[in-house]
Structure 1
Amino acid sequence: MSDKPAEKLKLVDAAASSDPYDLEQLRVDPSTMEGTHVKKLLTTVPVRKPNKQEFVRVHPGVQYRETQAFIELKDDRETFAVDLRAVPELREECFFATLYTTITRGGVLFLWPVKVPSADGKILEWHSSAAMAAQHAMKAWVRVRANVALGAYEISESTSPNLPEPGFPEETPFRDLYRIAFNNTKIIRSLDHPVVRRLRGGE
């Protein structure tokens, strides 16, 4: 008979299986989720200053910073590393800075170039206040803002007790971060580099 309970159950199951909104069909068994995890790859590391609206932290490890020579194209907002052993002629074009591994509250990693005193020993408040901000950011979340009237950077520390510790990618050494940030096109090792030609009016 068609009224048998078993046959009714089959009809109900068939109706349920044909329902495109059947939650039983759409529900995922946790055991099938193994192996679906993904790892976010670090493919871009900007070289820049913190902007005035973001709180940042700086990696405290000495192995996550480096002092080098750089050339900045202000119009393009790009920074190039310079190998002065290969091109000592560019020394006057360069500034010297310490690259600090820095991270924002949103987890954006970047290298922050903080200028060091020039060879003549002259210390500018812009440089010293930026260095002070980087040191302070090793222990607390800080915001760095330029104050033109003061001629220096102002440092504000977050007073929120609930901010988490920064999520630096400890498995990625500084050398790899540097390689991502500069790659081969942003390291000047020859006077034929497009940046050098541009600075000398060749382009």
Structure 2
Amino acid sequence: MSEQTIKQNHEDELVAKQSTTSLLSSLRLPDTYSVSGGTALPLKAIYGKLNKHRFCRIHPGGGYKFRCLVVDDKDRGETYLATPNMISHLDNLAVPKTIRLAVDSTGTPKLIGEPDIDPSSRANLWHSSLKYGIERGETTWVRIQANMSAGQYEIIESANDLGEPRWPNQSMEELINDAFSGRIIDSSDHPFIRQIQGRV
């Protein structure tokens, strides 16, 4: 095979690679693509625990911290927010927490409850380790998972830089309204209060 033929074959391979790269670039779908061909609307945040298999970030802004009373109905798997004037009906079932905004590495938003730490009460490793994990998540990607044998949460920081988090555009009020629609306890006639008082 002549030197000219080898050179020509090399040039043909380069052209083919460039064509393939160009073709692949044209095939890539944008992040906002949906099956219907329209633009994907923002995902609604839900309230709950962080996914132990996904790295997440916690929004550090004060506008995305909402301190309120949280009521967990563990029998029905429901969580409510309660107005402060309902504390006399709920007693210790209503727990003060700070609702925080988190997003995982796919951009899926979630609202989580950051526990209050009472320095005068007995130390609670579950609460203190979760609070620490949330604080770390303000500046770095973390996974938070329960370590039952240690009686606390285990915090794992990402080995690689996962980039900047994709925060939703909604305000905290809008996110909470969506997540807790129909689950606000603001009356003594609320079904949950009627249930715990035996008035059902």
Q: Which residues in structure 2 correspond to 1:34-113 (within 5 Å)?
A: 38-42=39-43, 44-113=44-113
Q: What SS does the aligned partner of 1:192 have?
A: coil
**Cα distance in 1 for residues equivalent to 2:69 and 2:146:** 23
**Cα distance in 1 for residues equivalent to 2:99 and 2:50:** 12
Question: Structure 1 regions of 5+ residues with no counterpart?
Answer: 1-35
8 Å CA contact 1:102–1:110 kept in 2: the answer is yes
Q: What residue is the counterpart of 2:6 in the other structure?
A: none
**Cα distance in 2 for residues equivalent to 1:87 and 1:121:** 20
Q: What displacement does 1:84 show?
A: 1.6
- After superposing on structure 2, the runs of 4+ consecutive aligned residues of structure 1 that deviate more than 3 Å are 118-123
**Cα distance in 1 for residues equivalent to 2:126 and 2:199:** 32
CA RMSD of aligned residues (A): 2.0
**Cα distance in 2 for residues equivalent to 1:138 and 1:149:** 27
- The structure whose residues are more often helix, as a share, is 2
TM-score by length of 2: 0.75
Q: What displacement does 1:124 show?
A: 0.8
Q: What residue is the counterpart of 2:151 in the other structure?
A: 151
Q: What displacement does 1:121 show?
A: 3.2
Question: Structure 2 regions of 5+ residues with no counterpart?
Answer: 1-36
**Cα distance in 2 for residues equivalent to 1:74 and 1:119:** 26
Q: What SS does the aligned partner of 1:150 have?
A: coil
Larger Rg: 1
8 Å CA contact 2:126–2:151 kept in 1: the answer is yes
TM-score by length of 1: 0.74
Q: What SS does the aligned partner of 1:132 have?
A: helix
**Cα distance in 1 for residues equivalent to 2:85 and 2:134:** 28
**Cα distance in 2 for residues equivalent to 1:123 and 1:156:** 22
Instruction: Tell me the alpha carbon deviations over residues 3-61 of structure 1, each in whole angstroms, 9 at most, x when there is no partner.
Output: xxxxxxxxxxxxxxxxxxxxxxxxxxxxxxxxx7625144x321101122121110010
8 Å CA contact 1:84–1:90 kept in 2: the answer is no
**Cα distance in 1 for residues equivalent to 2:142 and 2:52:** 10
8 Å CA contact 2:87–2:94 kept in 1: the answer is no
Change (3 A) 1:93 1:102: same
Residue 180 of structure 2 aligns to which amino acid in structure 1?
F
8 Å CA contact 2:72–2:93 kept in 1: the answer is no
8 Å CA contact 1:100–1:114 kept in 2: the answer is yes
Find the partner of 2:179 among 171, 178, 181.
181
